[in-house]
Amino acid sequence: MKLNILFPVLNEHLRLERGITKCAAYLRALASKEGSILYGESYRLTIVDNGSDDDTEEIGQRLAQKYEEVDYIRIEERGVGIAFKTGVERNTAEIVGYMDIDLSTDLKYLAKTLRIFDQRPCIDYVNASRFHRRSHTTGRKWYRKITSAGLLVLLKTVFGMKATDAICGFTFIRKEKAEELVKQCSDDKGWFYMIELLLRAERSGVRIADLPVDWTEDYDTTVKIPKTVKNYLVNIVKLKLAFLSE
């Protein structure tokens, strides 16, 4: 089962090398262990740099030269959404997904995700959750807990969302289904794109596995809360109107 992990990055010079190095080491160990879910399989780590203006590009290119399994893609438009879409359009692996470069979700869930796809052919989408009753989160700041919980309530109220988390930063999808969903989604380039992807998957009847995870807050996060909340509210209204007209 071939795997491609997309890492959307924007001005991540402080975390990029650490994240890729740690993930590459984990996957190499998993792929070399006889009997493991990744044993003998190929995998890629794709850095999708969406408009960095620091030395992220230099670090990304150096990592791609250092590691055979690492690719570096540069696009000039900013946003996780456009980065994910670009990665999916260029992907050739059976399973494609994205992770935050801070590796907030424990890497052991990569193996668990692959086992789900392998053992449950009906599942096309694995969505990690910080809010599942069996999840464990560490270091979550109080104001981010409030904004995340508020977003969850809104999505469940407005769209009837079934998933227990909308944007954990750890999502994997079978290739064909990912391509279908990307074609259905809007042109939003930001974080809300990933929420729309999940909502459209549910709306289309895609079988989704809600994956409880161990998740650790990164105190150096680059997410700007007020701007993000405003973006979410605007896009919730736009997507609801779009769903009503479809």
pLDDT of the residue at 223: 56
User: For residue 164, what are the contacts with CB-CB under 8 A and spacing of at least 6?
Assistant: 129, 131, 132, 152, 210
Q: Is the dihedral of CA 77, 9, 166, 178 positive or negative?
A: positive
Q: Is 205 left (phi over 0), alpha (psi -120 to 50) or beta?
A: left
- In tens, the pLDDT along 159-173 reads 999 999 999 999 999
Higher-scoring residue by pLDDT: 126, 40: 126
pLDDT of the residue at 125: 98
- List, in sequence order, every residue forming a beta bridge with 71; answer none if it has no partner: 46
User: For residue 234, what are the contacts with CB-CB under 8 A and spacing of at least 6?
Assistant: none
In percent, the amount of the chain with pLDDT more than 70 equals: 97
pLDDT of the residue at 79: 94
Structure tokens at 196: 């729309």
- In tens, the pLDDT along 177-204 reads 999 999 999 999 998 999 999 999 999 9
| Residue 234 predicted with pLDDT over 70 | yes
Task: Determine contact, residues 101/9, Cβ cutoff 8 Å.
Answer: yes
Closest alpha carbon to 86 in 75, 96, 94: 75
Q: What angle do CA 199, 204, 209 make, to 5 degrees?
A: 65
Distance CA 115, CA 124 (A): 12
| Residue 221 predicted with pLDDT over 70 | no
Global pTM exceeds 0.75:
yes
Task: Determine contact, residues 1/114, Cβ cutoff 8 Å.
Answer: yes
pLDDT of the residue at 229: 76
- In tens, the pLDDT along 66-97 reads 999 999 999 999 999 999 999 999 999 999 99
pLDDT of the residue at 145: 77
Structure tokens at 232: 């979410």
Confidence class for position 122, pLDDT limits 50, 70, 90: very high
| Residue 142 predicted with pLDDT over 90 | no
180-206: b (≥16 Cβ within 10 Å) or e = bbbeebeebbbbbbbbbbbbbbbeeeb
Q: At what angle do helices 175-184 and 80-90 cross, to 10 degrees?
A: 130
- The four Cα atoms 152, 86, 203, 175 give a dihedral, to 10 degrees, of -120
What mean pLDDT is predicted for residues 5-14?
A: 97
Q: What is the mean pLDDT of the chain?
A: 93
In percent, the amount of the chain with pLDDT more than 90 equals: 83
